[in-house]
Amino acid sequence: MASSSIRAPGTADATPPTALVHPLIPFLQQQSQNTLTRLYQLPSSCLSIYRLLAPLERQLVMSLLWLESAIPAATMAAWVVRDGKQLRPPHEWLYDGALDTLARLHILPNAAAKLALNPTFKTSFRQAITGSGTSGSFGVPAEVDEKRPPLTVEGLDGYALERWETILHYMVSSGTGQSPTKPSTGVLYLLQRSGLMVSLRGGPLQITSEGFQFLLHSPHDQLWALLLQYLHLAETRQMDLVEVLSFLFMLSTMQLGREYSADHLGVSQKAMLEDLRDYGLIWQRKPSSHRFSPTRLSTTLTSSSPPLPTTTTNSSGPAEGFIVLETNYRIYAYTDNPLQTAVLNLFVSLKYRFPNLVVGSITRDSVKKALNNGISADQNPLLPVTVQDQIRLWELERNRLKSADGYLYTSFTSQADYELVLNYARELGVVLWESPAKRCFFGTQEGHANIRGFIERRTTGGMA
């Protein structure tokens, strides 16, 4: 579903934008029907995928879930609100989009005439809702071990946060000469493969412009972006994609603070334990342990709530940080989080640091540095207009030069020849630059074949 194209300013509160499609949905849509059907055999996967759908799609699935037979498409379409006044019926448009998404996920095949859910999906999802079935897809709990109780929720949160911030901190300080704790090689490989970091001529890893943009996203988007890369990687590593996906979905339905048994996992899933431990998605007492606990990062995979508590330190101040930006480009950030400070350092030149406050200012140099890192001016939302305009001007300043591939035509024998060819090229609209004094011009690559043909015809014609 796409949002309406033009919206008047100030209407944002009245009509929130169309829900963004979850990044995993397009990935699932690319999978074969066979893969999806195998995935739909597991109730926990059905439940998780259902949660990733847009609200309207969820309602459609639920409406059809308890029907035994297919219903005519027109029956369902009759429920769509019709708004006669509008030129393009927005609700029907939304409805068609929702049906299309479900069809491409093979949840609702053959949406043209009759509507009925994919039988596998229907059976499994019913089992998920009623808590029946024997698939064990919600995770087999581990036997309670009296001697070694599971880690507390606070402990899990701290562990997940430490893991995750290690990754981000490593990325953010890769260019600054500091040497923060290195994440594991598996994480480094994933960062490199996903193009977030790159190793120049075998040197240490450097953050790329994609990496900088990645840092500005919400933790939730970051997590899914990495997991998507992981899924792509899994395909090349000959891992069973269904097992990988269903394990992620299983984690997302597990209960925080519980221990689960690893004995019932598939081969690929056991291989995943190590990777997910590195990302902070699961906790294990020791690598060889036969039990694992999901952290908040994994149990909130299918939700939009913030996956992690925002601060590691035991400060008494508010966990939420505030940023004040004045129209004189000064910026005050109330934070004591080194990661947030490091992110700010990407586009602000920092002046002072206090225990809970960082003061800096946005300058031409700092913005240029950020632009060089690949952050664009459009990525900074909700700034004062003066600041926004100035940043835009600075960005334009950087974009003074434009490069284009093409050919330089020179050494014309006479002014007449030169003008003849130039006029021809002008008619084609392929002239980028011309200099009558030097009797040369520069044409685009696309126009070269025509111009060369023209000159050759002229030359041979002149000789004849």
Partner 1 sequence: MDDSKGCHLSVVIDLSPAQWHLSAAAPPTNLHPLPLNSFLAQLLAFLNAHIASKHENTLAVFGAFPGKSMMLYASTDPATELQAIDANSYPPFKLVDSTIVTRIMEEFDDLGEPAEEAPTSLVSALTKALCYVNRVSIPTSSTSNKPTEDHDPNVLPDPRILVLSVSPDLSTSYIPIMNAIFSAQKLAYQKVTIDVCQIYGPDSVFLQQAAHLTGGSYIFLERRDALLQYLIMSFLSPPLIRKTLSVPTQDKIDFRAACFCHKNIVDIGFVCSICLSIFCQPVPVCSTCRQDQVPYEDTPEIECLSADASLC
Nearer to partner 1, 79 or 189 (CB): 79
Does position 50 interact with partner 1 (CB under 8 A)? The reply is yes
Query: Beta partners for 441?
Result: 409, 434
Does position 60 interact with partner 1 (CB under 8 A)? The reply is yes
Q: Where are the beta strands (DSSP E) in 320-421?
A: 322-325, 330-334, 349-353, 358-361, 406-409
Part of the chain binding partner 1 (CB under 8 A), chosen from 175-183, 282-290, 306-314, 381-389: 306-314
Per CB under 8 A, the list member of 40, 95, 249, 412 interacting with partner 1 is: 95
The tally of CA atoms less than 13 A away on the side-chain side of residue 212 is: 19
Part of the chain binding partner 1 (CB under 8 A), chosen from 28-36, 256-264, 270-278, 358-366: 256-264
Does position 62 interact with partner 1 (CB under 8 A)? The reply is yes
Q: Is 428 exposed, middle or buried (0-12, 13-18, 19+ CB in 10 A)?
A: middle
Question: How many CB atoms are located within 10 Å of the residue 263 CB?
Answer: 10
Cα angle value 8/11/16 (rounded, 5°): 120
| Binders of partner 1 in range 390-429 (CB under 8 A) | none
245 Cβ neighbours under 8 A, 6+ residues apart: 39, 45, 231
Does position 202 interact with partner 1 (CB under 8 A)? The reply is no
Residue 199 near residue 360, CB atoms below 8 Å = no
Does position 133 interact with partner 1 (CB under 8 A)? The reply is yes
Sign of CA dihedral 289, 292, 295, 297: positive
Nearer to partner 1, 40 or 212 (CB): 40
Does position 445 interact with partner 1 (CB under 8 A)? The reply is no
Long-range CB contact pairs, 199-207, < 8 A, 24+:
204/174, 205/174, 206/174, 206/175, 207/171, 207/172, 207/174, 207/175, 207/373
Does position 128 interact with partner 1 (CB under 8 A)? The reply is yes
Does position 300 interact with partner 1 (CB under 8 A)? The reply is yes
CA distance 264 to 33: 26
Per CB under 8 A, the list member of 104, 232, 258, 458 interacting with partner 1 is: 258
Q: What amino acid is encoded at 13 in this protein?
A: D
Does position 302 interact with partner 1 (CB under 8 A)? The reply is yes
Q: CB 33 → partner 1: shortest distance, Å? A: 24
Q: CB 139 → partner 1: shortest distance, Å? A: 6
CA distance 58 to 41: 19
Q: CB 12 → partner 1: shortest distance, Å? A: 10
Does position 119 interact with partner 1 (CB under 8 A)? The reply is no
| Binders of partner 1 in range 19-48 (CB under 8 A) | 19, 43-44, 47
Q: CB 18 → partner 1: shortest distance, Å? A: 6
Part of the chain binding partner 1 (CB under 8 A), chosen from 122-130, 164-172, 282-290, 421-429: 122-130
Per CB under 8 A, the list member of 129, 198, 233, 440 interacting with partner 1 is: 129
68 Cβ neighbours under 8 A, 6+ residues apart: none
CA distance 56 to 232: 29
| Binders of partner 1 in range 64-83 (CB under 8 A) | 65-67, 79-81
Residue ranges that bind partner 1, judged by CB under 8 A: 1, 16-19, 43-44, 47, 50-51, 54-56, 58-60, 62-63, 65-67, 79-81, 91, 94-95, 127-141, 153, 253-256, 258, 264, 299-300, 302-306, 309-310, 318-320
